[in-house]
């Protein structure tokens, strides 16, 4: 029987996940379909129960449901529990298991371009949900250190103190982060600053960046934020948010099928959707 997968969110019409996963099902000759489900706040429990009742094999969860979904699952992976967000659900013999592949996907995207993650000192800009998933996943992966800069210091302090994985960490104010930027081999931008239409904004000056650094921005519209342009202009290597999106999808696909898919093909598919 054809297997059913999908993604629940609001809004959902422009999600690139259906095209990406359906292409993989056909590539690996898997009899399955992946659909977008428009589920509004307040309807999540009914939607989850419905998918469980009809025997859906798995699904992704996106904004605004990543935290609320946790109350409706049978089991939650420890990393997802610590992060406090689930984006991937697998139906194992009628039991819904929740995972977070956003943070691990981000780490996998980094590992596809750098070999020595363990020796790197990272600076994360931001302390929201995305920063939390990335921070906890990098800490779990054994990175050397992660410093944090956020507009609201209290949120950054809370993030650092709630991480269950041991990692060296300190909180920076904007002035210190900009002055000491050369100390970081990895800089990760997780806020919405610089996202379309706010394309002339940047959360931090890249003037003092080390040209050997890798700068990753989780934004993919525009494909190069002002921060990435500045970093690239200084000779640093850059990565945009397509990597995180592709690799979170690849890890979800692997959970559902046991196959780690062709991420180059997934990236090409996403770029086609974004119009180049």
Residue closer to ligand ATR by CB (options 157, 262) is 157
Q: Does 193 bind ligand ATR (CB under 6 A)?
A: yes
Q: Does 64 bind ligand ATR (CB under 6 A)?
A: no
Active-site residue flag, 108: no
Backbone angles phi, psi at 146, to 5 degrees: -135, 115
Question: What's the CA dihedral at 106, 109, 111, 114 to 10 degrees?
Answer: -110
Among positions 52, 144, 155, 255, the unique one binding ligand ATR when judged by CB under 6 A: 155
Q: Is 126 annotated as a binding residue?
A: yes
Q: Does 148 bind ligand ATR (CB under 6 A)?
A: no
Residue closer to ligand ATR by CB (options 91, 150) is 150
Q: Does 191 bind ligand ATR (CB under 6 A)?
A: yes
CA distances (Å), origin 212, targets 47, 48, 111, 181, 215: 47, 46, 16, 12, 10
Give counts: helices (H), strands (E), the chain: 10, 12
Among positions 15, 101, 150, 239, the unique one binding ligand ATR when judged by CB under 6 A: 150
Binding mask 103-142 for ligand ATR (x = CB under 6 A): -----------------------xxxxxx-----------
> Which of these is catalytic: 66, 90, 108, 226?
66
CA distance 105 to 254: 11
Q: Is residue 46 within a helix (H) or strand (E), and if so which, with residue range?
A: helix 44-53
Shortest separation between residue 191's beta carbon and ligand ATR, angstroms: 3
CA distances (Å), origin 206, targets 115, 181, 200, 211, 230: 24, 7, 14, 10, 6
Residue closer to ligand ATR by CB (options 51, 130) is 130
Give the relative orientation of helices 102-111 and 242-257 as an angle to the nearest 10 degrees.
Answer: 110
Per CB under 6 A, residues contacting ligand ATR are 126-131, 150-152, 155, 190-193, 203
């Amino acid at each position: 029987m054809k297997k059913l997968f999908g993604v629940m969110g609001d809004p959902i019409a422009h999600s690139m996940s259906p095209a990406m996963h359906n292409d993989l099902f056909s590539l690996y000759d898997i009899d399955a379909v992946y659909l977008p489900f428009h589920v509004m706040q307040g309807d999540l429990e009914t939607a989850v129960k419905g998918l469980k009742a009809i025997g859906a094999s798995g699904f992704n969860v996106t904004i605004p449901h990543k935290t609320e979904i946790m109350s409706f699952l049978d089991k939650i992976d420890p990393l997802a529990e610590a992060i406090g967000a689930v984006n991937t659900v697998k139906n194992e013999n009628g039991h819904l298991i929740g995972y977070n592949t956003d943070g691990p996907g981000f780490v996998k995207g980094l590992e596809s371009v750098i070999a020595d993650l363990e020796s790197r000192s990272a600076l994360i800009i931001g302390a929201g949900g995305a920063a939390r998933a990335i921070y906890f996943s990098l800490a779990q992966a054994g990175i050397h250190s992660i410093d944090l800069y956020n507009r609201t210091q209290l949120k950054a302090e809370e993030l650092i103190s709630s991480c269950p994985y041991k990692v060296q960490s300190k909180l920076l104010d904007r002035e210190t982060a900009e002055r000491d930027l050369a100390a970081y081999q990895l800089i990760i931008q997780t806020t919405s600053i610089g996202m379309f239409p706010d394309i002339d904004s940047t959360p931090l000056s890249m003037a003092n960046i080390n040209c050997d650094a890798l700068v990753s921005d989780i934004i993919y519209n525009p494909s190069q934020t002002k921060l990435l342009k500045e970093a690239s202009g200084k000779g640093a290597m850059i990565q945009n948010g397509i990597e995180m999106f592709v690799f979170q999808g690849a890890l979800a696909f692997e959970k559902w099928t046991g196959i780690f898919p062709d991420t180059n093909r997934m990236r090409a598919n996403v770029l086609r959707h974004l119009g180049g």
